[in-house]
Amino acid sequence: MNAIAVIPARYASTRLPGKLVLSEVKELTGKYIIEHVYERTLKASLIKKVVVATDDQRIHNIVQQFGGVSVMTPDDISSGTDRIAWVVKNVDMVKEFNPDIIVNVQGDEPDISGKAIDDVVSALANDDQSVMSTAACPIESLDEFRDPNAVKVVLDNMNNAIYFSRSSIPFTRDPGADSISGALKHIGLYAFRKDFLLKFSQLPDSKLEKMEALEQLRVISNGYKVKVIMTDHSFLGIDTKQDLDLFLKPYRSEK
């Protein structure tokens, strides 16, 4: 089994532009956000190669400066998954490596663990019925359960995803019950079988995918299985200034 990780990295962000290479993060932590993600991904024992896929020369240069592997991709690619598929189809060093499994590691999750990456790879490698694997963790608060930015997932008895939603699912009808008991937060870490990754962008768009703005619903809507592994840790994704402050808080306290 050959598994690689590709980190899609865009400079543009509606809420926090340039977040992956913010100088403030470098000054406080000694590394850029993309560097934190890259180094943590390298800790996954089942990953044989790590590649950053970016459409921005600034990110490309910084990754090369800290010794990482980076490739430039077209700037008209609409999603991280499509960017990764482009790398698998077009980059010689990846084609020569001929990976069986490709992991999508989000470029804005500096808290990601090598173990979680290994777990999604193992889950997919050991399940012939699934084309993709991902991760989830328990919901920690009612606020998180109600937060549309915290994506929820519901599983069947075999730990396959039944549905992903920004809504508060599953709904607890009993008013006396704990509404977040058993509720799971989806973690944006994905492993794909190579053949399915290359097929993904050709699948019909899903109505549910468009409604929820969740790309993974295209997989379920087209009848494919997504295996979900459990972790007890919710990895911090940096989408907003508040997220950034939370990530930097322990470093600021050391100053």
Domain residue spans of the chain: 1-112+236-255, 138-185+195-234
- CA of 216: how far to CAs of 51, 113, 177, 187, in Å? 22, 21, 30, 12
Peptide bond into 138 cis (omega under 30): no
Of the candidates 116, 124, 122, which has an alpha carbon nearest to the alpha carbon of residue 196? 124
Q: Distance between CA 135 and CA 123 in Å, rounded? A: 10
pLDDT in tens, the chain (255 residues): 899 999 999 998 777 889 999 999 999 999 999 999 999 999 999 999 999 999 999 999 999 999 999 999 998 888 889 999 999 999 999 999 999 999 999 999 999 999 999 999 999 999 999 999 999 999 989 999 999 989 999 999 999 999 999 999 998 887 666 788 889 999 999 999 999 999 998 898 899 999 999 999 999 999 999 999 999 888 888 988 999 999 999 998 876
Pairing outcome for strands 152-155 and 161-165 = antiparallel
pLDDT given for residue 23 in this prediction: 94
Count of Cβ atoms closer than 10 Å to residue 246 Cβ? 13
pLDDT given for residue 119 in this prediction: 97
The kind and range of the H/E element at 63 are helix 57-65
Q: Distance between CA 6 and CA 25 in Å, rounded? A: 22
Q: Distance between CA 254 and CA 59 in Å, rounded? A: 28
Question: Residue 243: phi, psi to the nearest 5?
Answer: -60, -45
Q: Could you tell me if 236 and 169 are in contact, meaning their C-beta atoms sit under 8 angstroms apart?
A: no
Our CA angle for 86, 87, 93, nearest 5°, is 145
Pick the CATH number of 1-112+236-255 from 3.40.50.2000, 3.90.550.10, 3.40.50.300, 3.40.50.970: 3.90.550.10
